[in-house]
Amino acid sequence: MMPNLHNGDKLISNKVVLFFIETARGDIVVFASPVAEGGDYMKRVIG
């Protein structure tokens, strides 16, 4: 799978919408980092 996001890219996300729709394979989700205060992780749903 080729990366869609590269270093320096900007992304606008809406964290609230995940409460109303189901995520599907290939979607990119953003969530709070469990280790870095104030940081976020971006991951692609693969399963």
- List, for residues 8-18, the tens digit of each pLDDT value: 888 888 767 77
- Measured CA distances, 46 to 6, 8, 25, 27, 43 (Å): 19, 24, 5, 8, 9
In a domain, 47, yes or no: yes
In a domain, 5, yes or no: no
In a domain, 1, yes or no: no
At residue 24, does pLDDT exceed 70? yes
Confidence of residue 1 (pLDDT cuts 50, 70, 90): low
Q: What is the pLDDT of residue 14?
A: 79
In a domain, 19, yes or no: yes
In a domain, 38, yes or no: yes
Structural domains counted in the chain:
1
Render pLDDT for 25-42 as a digit per residue (tens, 0 to 9).
888 888 888 887 888 888
Q: With beta carbons less than 8 A apart as the criterion, state whether 13 and 5 touch.
A: no
Phi, psi of 16 (to 5 degrees): -75, -30
19: which residues sit within 8 A by CB, 6+ positions away?
A: none
Q: What domain range includes position 36?
A: 11-47
